[in-house]
Each structure stands twice: as C-alpha cells, then as structure tokens.
Amino acid sequence: MQEVGAILVLGVKGILLKLLEAAIASPSIALEEIPLQRTKDFRRVQYISAIALKLAHLWQQPAIEVATQLAAKCQKENENIGFLSKENFTIEVLPSGMILFELTDVSVAAWLQYLTDTPQTLEKRESQIKSASVESDRIFPVQYSHARCCSLLRLADRDRIIELVERDRQTSLAPWQIINPNPIPWLNSNNRLRLIHPAELNLISQLFTTLDTLASLFNGGFEKPLITNKSTDWLKLANTLSDTFQTFYSQCRIWGEVKTETPKLAQARLGLILATQTLLQFILQELLGIIAPLEL
C-alpha cells in the first residue's frame, strides 16, 4: 500500500480517540472501548464522549471530576498534534460529565485545505470488490455527481476563477488540485469560515463524516470498523455524500453576482467541490474499482 494522507488514515475521530487514550493512560481501557461520536449539529464539527461516565466507577470519582481531569490532560497531550493543536479545537466539560470537542474555523479550514491538496490513493492491487457486483442504477448518481464536480472545476478554470494544475486532462485518474488561489480562501479576514449557508455547512459536515468513516479502513485496528469490505457499504457512503453535494449545488451559486461581487466565496465553494470530487473519486476508483468519469 502506498502512503495515504494522514487525514484519511485517522480522520478527526481517530485523532481524538488517540488523544483520549493518552489522557486515560490505562491498559484496562482499550481504544475501541472509548465512546466518541459526532454530534447531530451539522453547523459545527463536534464530537462528544461519555468516557468519564464509564470511568467514574472504575476510578471511584464523580464523572464531572473524571471529565475535568481528562479534558486537562487532552489539552496538554495535543500540543504535538498539528491539525488539532491547542488553538484549533476546544474542549468543554458538560454538567452531565460528557466531554465535548469542537474544531475551530481555523482547524476546519486546515483540514479542508489538506484534503484538496493531498491525493488519496491506494496501491493498485487485485480489487476485493468487482465492479460487476454494483448495480449500475445505484452507482450512476455517484458517477454523475463526480462528473458534475469535474465539469464545474474545469469551467471555473476556463473562467479564471481558479487555476487547476492540469486543466486539459482526459482522465480523472490523476489527482485534481487548485494551484491558484492557494490556499483556498476558506476564512474571512476575521479567521471565520466564509461558508455559512446551511447547505455549505451540511456538505462540510458530510465531508468530515466521510473522512472518519473511510479512516476505519486504514486504522490498523484502533477501533471497530465503521464500514466493512462490502461494495454496498462504500456505495451507501458515496451516495450520501453525492446527495449532500447535489443539495449544495442547487442552493449555492458560484457564477453571476457571486463571482463578480464575492469572488473569494466563489473560490471557497469551488474548494468544497474539489473536496467532494476527491472523496467520490477515491471511493469509486480505489474501493469499488469503478471509473470516476469526467463527464456523462
């Protein structure tokens, strides 16, 4: 297997689990036994853990005290974690004893930029999944969304909203990349995400969910796999991302007034399109062994 980007190997959830494991520092608690889930608030990239409630009995301390200790240790342990440095995520202990982690806008932007800059590929090998096992009517919406992403990126390049590294490609096998602007203007002058439309935030949320789910393929056993080596699981993951992208595309314009009056917003939206294309291409080509078409 070739080296896969660190984001895809661990995802945010994987890094937070490693952080909690280091804070607990107990061989009696295996990594896969640490509860950690995304919250349902799609407007934020948040994770919540009930590990303090689980440890309260073992440590013979109130859950709120255990949570406070773990939160302090996590803050200390994370100093050497690049994408989750102290300035890039917050930890809050809730009255219930739950621990809430939230990525700041700066951190969300850093992860999105990494995703659009770093190709995610596996070494070519005999596919575990035969493309014939996937029904064409189920895969077509995903291929359509991928082709739409490619079409929009090429059109934006021709209109000089962005500049692609390889604009006249004939295949989607090579990684797509925006070389201008670089970095993509995810943040405004106040270091806040300029992507605040509900459809934008929902797509960002789904991108992180997809990353976390894919990470279970490369985790080396650090948690129970979230998906199995079945084409149906990968296809469901791709379809969810595809549907979320289509909603975003129908509600968030790039051309017209957006292009002329708020060009950085147009570029940031194109960044989301590239991030979507990257993950759809990975699932189609690397996991399903199916072509990720440039056009349909």
Helix, strand or coil, per DSSP, at residue 192? coil
Q: What is the pTM of this model?
A: 0.87
Helix, strand, coil proportions of the chain in percent (round to 5)? Answer: 55, 10, 40
pLDDT, averaged across the chain: 85
Is the distance from CB of 141 to CB of 21 less than 8 angstroms?
no
Does residue 275 register a pLDDT over 70? yes
Class of domain 126-287: mainly alpha
DSSP one-letter string for 91-135: EEE-TTS-EEEEE-HHHHHHHHHHHHHS---------SS-GGGS-
Residue 28: the pLDDT is 81
What is the predicted pLDDT for the residue at 3? 41
Give the three-class secondary structure for 195.
Answer: coil
Please tell me the distance from the alpha carbon of residue 281 to that of residue 175, in angstroms, as a whole number.
9
| Residue 259 pLDDT greater than 90, yes or no | yes
Give the closest residue to 207 by CA, choosing from 68, 123, 93, 103: 103
- The per-residue pLDDT for 138 is 83
The alpha carbons of the chain give a radius of gyration, in whole angstroms, of: 20
- pLDDT score recorded for residue 131: 47
How does DSSP classify residue 86? T
DSSP string, 7-44: HHHHHHHHHHHHHHHHHH--TTS-GGGS--EE-S-TTS
Please state which CATH class domain 6-103 belongs to: alpha beta
- Mean pLDDT on 221-250: 77
2 pLDDT more than 90: no
| Range of weakest confidence among 42-56, 123-137, 205-219 | 123-137
Question: Is residue 225 pLDDT above 50, yes or no?
Answer: no
Note the pLDDT tens digit of each residue in 125-157. 434 434 445 667 789 999 999 999 999 999 999
Q: What is the pLDDT of residue 124?
A: 45
Question: For residues 284 and 292, what is the distance between their CA atoms, to the nearest angstrom?
Answer: 6
Report the pLDDT averaged over residues 35-56.
Answer: 96
- Residue 295 makes CB contacts below 8 A (sequence gap 6+) with 147, 150, 151
pLDDT tens-digit series, residues 62-87: 999 999 999 999 888 666 555 556 56
Report the run of H or E that residue 280 belongs to, with start and end: helix 263-281
Listed by start position, the domains of the chain span 6-103, 126-287
Where does the pLDDT of residue 286 fall: very low under 50, low under 70, confident under 90, or very high at 90 and above?
confident
